[in-house]
A and B are shown apart, each in its own frame.
Chain A
Amino acid sequence: MIRRSLLATAALAAVALPLGHAWAHAMLRGASPAVGSTGPAPKSVILTFTEGVEASFSTIWVQDAKGARVDAGPPHAVAGDSLRLEVPLKDLAPGSYTVTWHATSVDTHKTEGRYAFTVAP
């Protein structure tokens, strides 16, 4: 009986833990241009994460089909929004591009990813 109570208490404690987050890994929630999209040439790439990220400890590379870098500066937070990082781009010609990112969340967890988008003729 006592052991069952302990188990019940543990289960309740597990559920009662705060389910909202304060700390976590920053996963990519969305991007502009969108992942796998085709559209007009963007002026910048904006990545939206699930957690706040440290711009100074994060990188975003944008490369054309030949591997040449087309990003035009370091990433920065969008208008004081730590969930979004933006990197300006050079003028892009039609073709496929790859975005490679490494993010450090505000609680120092590191994540990375890579996706492609296409600039339409």
Chain B
Amino acid sequence: MKRLALLAAGLSGACLLAPVAAHAHGYAGPHMFVSTLIIDDPNVADEASLPTFSWQPQPTDGGPQMNLYAAEFELDKRITENFGFAVGGGYQWLTQPGNKTANGWENFYTTLKYKPYVNAEHEFMLSVGATVNFGNSGANGSNGATLDNDATDSFGPVLYFGKGFGDMPIGWARAFAITGQLGYQIAGTKLKVTGTDPDSGDPLFNNGTSNQWYGGLSLQYSIRYLSSQVKDYGLPEWVNRLTPLVELGWSSPASKPNQDSTQFIIAPGINYTADSYAFTVEALIPGNKQTGSHVGVIAQFHMYFDDMFPSSLGKPIVDWFK
């Protein structure tokens, strides 16, 4: 049984060189892309997801229901205006009826992200990055294996984009936005068959893992954008701060042999963005039986350091010395 790897797929971004004038805080022109929970948003920012709580019933293969709970964090920091890094990890508990609950740290990850292009007029943003997942940096051994922590490092490129629909001819539809992510993870040690179990006849494997494709999309509807760009319906301010959204996450093994399966998850929810923080809650709906058969939930408290601490944590590191 393989739990959904998406939530541990290292959602933060990666960075390269060359600054381009742009807005922090996820804006492409007048459209703000909210921070998403299943996929990473395309922005480079000073922010923290602290914490992200999730509950995800696991695929059972007909056996008793196991539940995975996780408390995760991610810290993002800009080095220059459009170049930054992030570090993240978390702690998880896997309840197993009839067995002791397994618990331990997830493997930690870091990402670099660079945002080379923003088109304010067309509300478009593009970023590229690289992620590294550090094998054995969390729970390891048999406990780590139970919690599905890889024993080997993995790394790879990621592409992110965001597009607001402000140039659509239909007024109310202009409040929509779509963001996306596509990544490829390369295993530090490839999974290999090392023999055959003499009792079961099943193949035996080394501590490697397989390469993996992963990605997803989010579709967002900004009430703020509707009220400030299209038509003011006189909605209360707290309603204007809402962004209903739905995310789709996917991962699939990209090499053989592998012990993974293609997984899909659909996560509808709602985001509330205040002046310096945001709160998002989404349902986790398995998209196929390999992902599970019961709905879970994920929720996140997100802090925008550029609003909370604009003179310190909220500005690029290179500006600290000016």
| B is a partner of A | yes
Whether B297 sits at the interface, judged by CB under 8 Å, is: no
Residues from chain A with Cβ under 8 Å of B120 in the complex: 112
Among B198-206, B208-216, B227-235, which stretch is in contact with chain A? B227-235
Q: Which chain A residues numbered 1 to 40 have a C-beta less than 8 Å away from chain B?
A: 3-4, 7, 10-11, 14-15, 17, 19, 21, 23-25, 27-31, 34-37
Return the 6 tightest CB-CB contacts between A and B, nearest first: A36-B231, A21-B275, A24-B275, A28-B228, A35-B232, A24-B307
**Is A113 engaged at the interface, CB distance under 8 Å to the other chain?**
yes
B91 at the A/B interface (Cβ < 8 Å)? yes
Task: Report B-chain residues with C-beta under 8 Å of the C-beta of A14.
Answer: 50-51, 301, 303
Specify the main secondary structure of chain B where it touches its partner. mixed
Within 8 Å by CB of A112, from B29, B73, B306, B314, lies B29
Decide if A110 is an interface residue (CB 8 Å cutoff). yes
Contact present for A36 and B306 (CB under 8 Å): no
Contacts of A7 in B (CB 8 A): 51, 71, 91
Asked whether, in the complex, the Cβ of A35 is within 8 Å of the Cβ of B228, the reply is: yes
Interface of B toward A, CB cutoff 8 Å: 23-25, 27, 29-30, 50-51, 71, 73, 91, 105, 120, 171, 224, 227-232, 234, 237, 240, 274-277, 301, 303-304, 306-310, 314
User: For residue B229, which residues in chain A have a CB less than 8 angstroms away from its CB?
Assistant: 35, 113-115
Contact with B274, one of A19, A30, A108, A111 (Cβ below 8 angstroms): A19
CB distance from A23 to the nearest CB of B (A): 5
Kindly state the separation between the CA atoms of A76 and B57 in the bound complex, as whole angstroms: 56
- A50: interface (CB < 8 Å): yes
Jot down 6 A-B pairs with beta carbons below 8 A, ordered by A. Answer: A14-B50, A27-B224, A31-B228, A113-B228, A115-B228, A115-B229
Which A64-114 residues have C-beta < 8 A from chain B?
107-114
- Closest residue to A112 on the B side, CB-wise? B30
Q: Is there contact, CB below 8 Å, between A34 and B71?
A: no
Is there contact, CB below 8 Å, between B30 and A114?
A: yes
Task: Report Cα–Cα, A63/B10, bound state, in Å.
Answer: 46
**Interface size, chain A (Cβ < 8 Å):** 33
Q: Given the known inter-chain contacts A10-B50, A10-B73, please indicate yes or no for A21 contacting B30, CB distance below 8 A.
A: no
A51 within 8 A of B: yes
* Contact residues in B for A50 (Cβ distance below 8 Å): 275
B232: contacting residue among A11, A25, A31, A113, CB under 8 A: A31
Is B276 touching A24 in the complex (CB atoms < 8 A)?
Answer: yes
Chain A nearest CB, measured from B307 CB (Å): 4
Q: How far is the CA of A23 from the CA of B276 in the complex (A)?
A: 7
Q: Are B51 and A11 in contact (CB under 8 A)?
A: yes
Since A17-B303, A113-B30 are in contact, a sample of 5 more A-B pairs with Cβ atoms closer than 8 Å, ordered by chain A residue number, is A7-B91, A11-B51, A14-B51, A24-B304, A27-B224
CB distance from B104 to the nearest CB of A (A): 9
| Residues of A with C-beta under 8 A to B275 | 21, 23-25, 50-51
Contacts of B304 in A (CB 8 A): 24
B232 and A34 form a contact (CB under 8 A): yes
Contact A108 B310 (CB under 8 A): yes
Contact of B310 among A10, A34, A107, A115 (CB under 8 A): A107
A109 x B228 contact (CB < 8 A): no
Beta-carbon contact of A37 and B232 below 8 Å: yes
**Whole-angstrom distance from the CB of B253 to the nearest CB of chain A?**
31
Contact A25 B25 (CB under 8 A): yes
Nearest-neighbour CB distance to chain A for B160, whole angstroms, equals 21
CA separation between A120 and B110, bound complex, in Å? 57
| A35, closest chain B residue (CB) | B232
Are B308 and A17 within 8 A (Cβ)? Answer: yes
- The interface residues of chain A lying within 8 Å CB-to-CB of B303 are 14, 17
Between B120, B237, B310, the greatest number of chain A beta carbons within 10 A of the residue's beta carbon is seen for B310
Say how far B95's CB is from chain A's closest CB, in angstroms: 15
User: Is A109 a contact partner of B308 (Cβ separation < 8 A)?
Assistant: no
Closest to B31 in A: A113
Q: Kindly state the separation between the CA atoms of A34 and B231 in the bound complex, as whole angstroms.
A: 8
- Decide if A36 touches B310 in the complex (CB within 8 Å): no
- Supposing A21-B276, A36-B171 touch, asked if A30 and B50 sit within 8 A by C-beta, the answer is no
